[in-house]
């Protein structure tokens, strides 16, 4: 059974999300190590959300309650009291609700900035991290792979691709009233990851010409060459010369000691964990815009129904495939058995084994394609029993029972 415990900027304060985001690197591994009923786990921790996706044994008595406790227990190893805050305010999803939710998240429909571009990559990075850590499972692999497909469909069938929304663009929208002329502004970018690249594009769109970059990991020079900006080697001196500082890095870098007190400047912190100490905002001449301020004051655009319809269709197709899988597996097993028998007979008669086997296997693939498609169509129409009956009538075979699908929702106290 699929399960998700989710919390975001709408349900939990940014300070809590900030602290949790610092200690989630081992949560998935801890989940698997501490709970026998957990088959796989993937943790998605971004600038405005924490989500734990797990696949658990099915059936399992009180599955939702056990799964909530498992996540909170694993997180509490490093998050302490914040894990209890998560328990009180997070939402628990199971079954098809997990599918719909992840597809919506990956498409940007649950983001602080509706339709944001970065979230799709963050979802897939969570999958890659789980693979490297050895915590994913076949069910989660399929779910996250299909989430990427769903986000592409949502963008293709709606205005998301044309809108080009991102958190960086939203932050710069808020900064427009503080920056009279972006073409004259000296801008320092702290960080060289994918978010930094998006921020450069957003600055270019506003006409910014003087963009510098600093990286605590020594990647500034390479990033500068690639994106046509200037690399800086000393953070304090770079901040001294900048009018606008934008941080978007995985490292906590900017402290009060890094910020000279000799000029006015705007600092925009797009990082979670925070890239800038809150105390920096109290320094003379400094205005700090962080994610909490951006989320509180930004006006979010409305989306048409196209994206939601595309996500709903993708989730329904995923469920149809899941329900149809036992029937398809039974059919393929039957045809493979018949095929092997025919191959054995051909070999017994002599002849060119390679060509005979290749021809028969191609025949089997063609034979199976049509019925497999029909099985999914029948499942989507709620007529899977008709297809199973046809299998029994035609071949005398019975598919295994479809996995139980639950759709429980709610917070666990």
Supply the residues annotated as catalytic: 47
Kindly state the tokens that stand for 216. Answer: 């605590």
Say which DSSP state 401 is in. Answer: P
Pairing between β-strand 91-94 and β-strand 186-190 as defined by DSSP bridges: unpaired
Q: For residue 267, which of 226, 238, 296 has the smallest C-alpha distance?
A: 238
Distance CA 127, CA 108 (A): 17
Q: For residue 170, which of 359, 290, 299 has the smallest C-alpha distance?
A: 299
Angle value at C-alpha 351, between 348 and 357, nearest 5 degrees: 80
Q: In 10 A of CB 105, how many CB atoms?
A: 26
Q: Which residues have C-beta within 8 Å of that of residue 235, sequence separation ≥ 6?
A: 190, 214, 216, 253, 254, 258
Contact between 270 and 247 under an 8 Å Cβ cutoff? The reply is yes
Pairing between β-strand 38-46 and β-strand 49-56 as defined by DSSP bridges: antiparallel
């Amino acid at each position: 059974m699929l399960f998700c415990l989710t919390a975001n900027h709408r349900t939990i304060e940014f300070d809590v999300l900030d602290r949790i985001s610092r200690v989630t690197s081992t949560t998935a591994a801890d989940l698997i190590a501490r709970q026998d009923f957990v088959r796989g786990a993937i943790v998605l921790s971004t600038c405005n959300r924490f989500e734990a996706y797990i696949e658990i044994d099915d059936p399992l008595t009180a599955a939702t309650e056990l799964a909530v406790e498992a996540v909170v227990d694993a997180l509490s190893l490093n998050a302490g009291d914040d894990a209890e805050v998560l328990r009180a305010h997070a939402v628990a999803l199971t079954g098809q609700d997990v599918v719909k939710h992840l597809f919506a998240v990956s498409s940007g429909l649950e983001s602080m900035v509706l339709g944001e571009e970065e979230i799709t990559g963050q979802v897939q990075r969570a999958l890659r991290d789980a693979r490297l850590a050895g915590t994913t499972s076949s069910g989660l692999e399929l779910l996250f792979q299909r989430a990427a497909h769903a986000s592409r469909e949502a963008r293709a069938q709606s205005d998301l691709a044309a809108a080009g929304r991102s958190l960086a663009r939203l932050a710069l929208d808020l900064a427009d009233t503080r920056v009279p002329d972006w073409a004259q502004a000296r801008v320092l970018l702290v960080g060289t990851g994918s978010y930094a690249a998006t921020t450069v594009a957003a600055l270019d769109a506003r006409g910014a010409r003087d963009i510098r970059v600093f990286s605590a990991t020594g990647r500034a020079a390479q990033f500068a060459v690639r994106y046509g900006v200037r690399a800086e080697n000393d953070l304090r001196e770079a901040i001294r010369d900048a009018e606008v500082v934008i941080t978007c890095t995985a490292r906590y870098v900017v402290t009060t000691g890094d910020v000279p007190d000799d000029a006015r400047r705007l600092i925009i912190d797009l990082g979670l964990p925070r890239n800038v100490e809150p105390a920096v905002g109290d320094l003379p001449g400094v205005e700090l815009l962080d994610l909490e301020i951006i989320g509180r004051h930004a006006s979010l655009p409305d989306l048409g129904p196209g994206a939601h319809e595309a996500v709903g269709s993708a989730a329904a197709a995923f469920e149809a495939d899941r329900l149809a899988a036992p029937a398809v597996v039974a059919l393929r097993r039957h045809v493979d058995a018949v095929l092997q028998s025919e191959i054995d007979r051909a070999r017994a008669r002599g002849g060119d084994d390679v060509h005979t086997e290749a021809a028969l296997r191609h025949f089997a693939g063609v034979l199976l394609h049509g019925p497999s498609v029909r099985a999914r169509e029948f499942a989507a129409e709620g007529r899977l029993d008709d297809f199973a009956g046809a299998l029994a009538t035609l071949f005398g075979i019975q598919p295994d029972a479809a996995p139980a699908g639950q759709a429980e929702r709610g917070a666990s106290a």
